[in-house]
Amino acid sequence: MKKNMSYRDSVHRDGRIWNISVMIILFMFPVAVGLIFDAGLDLKGFAMGILATAPMYWAVAVVETFTFVPMLGTGGSYLSFVTGNISNLKLPVALNALEQAGVNIRSDEGEVVATIAIAVSSIVTTLIIILGVILIVPLTPVLNSPVLEPAFAQILPALFGGLGVVFVSKNWKIAVAPVILMLVLFIFVPALNAGTVGIMVPVGVLFTLAVSRIMYKKKLI
């Protein structure tokens, strides 16, 4: 670390280096496949694909950056956006670690706790994936058992339910509005599904902030 460089400055430096490096590695895969199979890039097809998908991902990327970064911290944000699965895994892990440690993400201690939690989560996830690849064939009959099927369908609800109880119990009045909003949206808008979580989480956050502001002004919280 350079002299007089703060912790966050060093994290920003290393984070940019690693994020750019990962980006280059990801882009190298299609390049390598093209070279190996002697398949050139179809520029027209590439442009049509980019035009059809990029605007949505750009919008989600901007919204997620403003939504998740304040909750993940500096180091946790760089690490989470590289390893992925933020809303389902990295964010709950970071929030739970901060809760257990009793620190705030805006403090240096909170930065370190969140980063360590996300790093450990990433390592554990990688190890589980490795075990899954090795054991998928012998365990397939067990995993496909009708007895276990209901349990697998409840993994995410159980995870978010456990976290929800902790945070809702702190101030249940704030939780009422976003819960009602999401129930109404997902019940009466069939197009919303698990694939829209990346958009609906920021929407829920902004809605909750707006409602909380109104309730605060009216001295309800």
Task: Name the residue ranges covered by the structural domains of the chain.
Answer: 1-41
pLDDT at 216: 86
Largest CA distance in the chain: 67
Burial (0-12, 13-18, 19+ Cβ within 10 Å), 36: exposed
Query: Tell me, what's the pLDDT at 77?
Result: 92
* Burial class of residue 73 (count of CB atoms within 10 Å of its CB; 0-12, 13-18, 19+): buried
Instruction: Using only the alpha carbons of the chain, give its radius of gyration.
Output: 21
Residues 75 and 115 sit within 8 Å (Cβ to Cβ): yes
Helix (H, G, I), strand (E, B) or coil at 117: helix
* pLDDT digits (tens), the chain, 221 positions: 455 678 888 888 999 998 999 989 988 988 888 888 888 778 888 888 787 777 767 777 777 788 888 889 899 999 998 888 887 788 888 988 998 888 888 888 898 999 999 999 999 999 998 998 898 888 888 878 888 778 877 877 777 777 677 667 777 888 888 888 888 888 888 777 766 666 777 788 888 888 888 988 888 87
Report the C-alpha gap between 184 and 7 in whole angstroms. Answer: 44
- Amino acid (1-letter code) at residue 90: K
pLDDT at 195: 66
User: Could you tell me if 90 and 80 are in contact, meaning their C-beta atoms sit under 8 angstroms apart?
Assistant: yes
Distance CA 186, CA 13 (A): 41
Quick one: pLDDT at residue 198? 64
Other beta carbons within 10 angstroms of residue 154's beta carbon come to 10
> What integer pLDDT is reported at residue 51 of this predicted model?
79
Whether residue 18 contacts residue 82, with contact meaning beta carbons closer than 8 Å, is answered with: yes
